[in-house]
Structure 1
Amino acid sequence: MNSFFIVGTISSLDTLHELNKNPQKLKGCDVVELRFDEHMELSEAKDAAKEISQHRPVLITIRTSKEGGTWKLDDAHRFEFFKEFFEIATYADIELKSELFQHQKRSDFPSEMTVIGSFHNYKKCPSEAEMNELIQQGEQWGIDIVKLAVFCNKADDRQSLSNVLEDHPESNLALMGMGPEGLETRFSLPPLGSKFTYGFLDKPAAPGQPSCMALAQKLK
């Protein structure tokens, strides 16, 4: 079994329905990320997510507009939507900087669910000290996997991600760069210990994100 998973991101219910009809198209995808913030209708999304979970584990993400998503309602409402997927999803993603992270406890999520604490910066790569602080913050809360997705403007940014990964050999991290300079990290960091790498199943969900198939062809 791979020590890392390739996550296939879905932003459209049409794509989800198509994959349910043709699950062979999930080849190379270990986990399906359902981006509920992309205006998916709850009842329809739940039924489709339940069906796709028979083929792959589901990661539920309800990304706020502050970190690249489209969700604009308050976090109290967002947590209620998360709860709708507790019996379906294997993974849930919440932002380390969100109010939901500040107000909810790890025990508010099912113990068997893997909770991902994420941070996104679409302009630059934070310093290694800042990234280390985010990892510590997440682990203190009880996060199972800390995900840092940051924009790489130069080669040094890719090296910073590698350094942070190397500095935390006992931590469960998913680190990746965005943008053209960051593309390489989606292929290079998983073999070094990054737990997840993300590719799209319908359209890129982040700058420079490759397709799930492109990741699978190179990494598997």
Structure 2
Amino acid sequence: MFLQNIPAIAVVLNDKDVLSITKEELKGADLIELRVDMFEKTENISDIFEIAKRKYDLPLLCTVRLPEEGGKKEIKNRLDIYQTVLPFCSFFDMEIFSNEVSLLRQLVVKSNIILIGSYHNFSKTPSLEDLERVFERGKMLNMDIIKIATMVNEDKDLETLLFFTLRHKVDRIITLGMGQKGIPSRIINPVFGSMITYANFNEVSAPGQIHLKDMVHIFKVMKLRE
């Protein structure tokens, strides 16, 4: 595993952020997620990844999110992008139910890339049984880490996510709730087995995200960081 701390804090950046944010401003982050679907320009993507790797000296996670699971715009040549930035990355993320995820698995099989198979539901938190089916599909596809992010509409949704996290605390999972009511899950679930929580810096990539500086402070208060 390429992460110095688990649970880890991933900060979500776009191309403009990489060119403007200093290393000192990202103090406390363990991982940088570069969301290519949030990039202003999709030319010379490898240059942005190279700059980020050199500038921040942190593991990089490449994500090119599909619009139906929260991507900001449609990008057609996703596999080409992943292959292009492979030399700079430690992690890739792709949707478990994507038609391309098996091809991405084949692409990284001989590399040290850790593949996160993700599932996002922006309308609700499915039942525990449905979440288990998502998990089983991720395992069947040989995902290294399975990420489940769902919309929290009521308190019982938080309970469902936490119960699922506890059930799989010995597995490599990431669980988080989206929306204002999902904010507690971004703080609590990492205590009970969720490997990574996501923070924003300039642009929020999912509803309910907490700013990096606040997340680092919370982790210190909770003694998850020194």
TM-score w.r.t. length of structure 2:
0.89
**Structure 2 contact 169–194 (Cα < 8 Å) conserved:** no
* Counterparts of 2:44 and 2:28, CA distance in 1: 26
1:144 match: 144
Gaps spanning 5+ residues in structure 2: where? 221-226
1:15 match: 17
Amino acid at match of 1:2: N
Q: How big is the alpha-carbon RMSD for the aligned residues of Structure 1 and Structure 2?
A: 1.5
User: How many equivalent pairs are there?
Assistant: 214
Of the structure 1 ranges 118-127 and 1-10, higher mean CA displacement relative to structure 2 is found in 1-10
What percent of counterpart residues are identical? 26
* Counterparts of 1:49 and 1:42, CA distance in 2: 12
Of the structure 1 ranges 104-113 and 61-70, higher mean CA displacement relative to structure 2 is found in 104-113
1:88 match: 88
* Counterparts of 1:175 and 1:218, CA distance in 2: 18
**Structure 1 contact 158–185 (Cα < 8 Å) conserved:** yes
Amino acid at match of 1:25: E
**Structure 2 contact 9–198 (Cα < 8 Å) conserved:** yes
Shift of 1:107: 3.0
2:133 match: 133
2:70 match: 68
1:182 match: 182
Gaps spanning 5+ residues in structure 1: where? none
* Counterparts of 2:190 and 2:69, CA distance in 1: 23
| Relative contact order higher in (CA < 8 Å, ≥ 6 apart) | 1
**Structure 2 contact 168–193 (Cα < 8 Å) conserved:** no
1:108 match: 107
* Counterparts of 1:65 and 1:42, CA distance in 2: 16
Of the structure 1 ranges 107-116 and 193-202, higher mean CA displacement relative to structure 2 is found in 107-116
Of the structure 1 ranges 159-168 and 104-113, higher mean CA displacement relative to structure 2 is found in 104-113
**Structure 1 contact 144–172 (Cα < 8 Å) conserved:** yes
Shift of 1:4: 1.1
TM-score w.r.t. length of structure 1:
0.92
| DSSP 3-state at the match of 2:177 | strand
Shift of 1:40: 4.2
TM-aligned CA distance change 1:204 to 1:105, over 3 Å:
closer
2:223 match: none
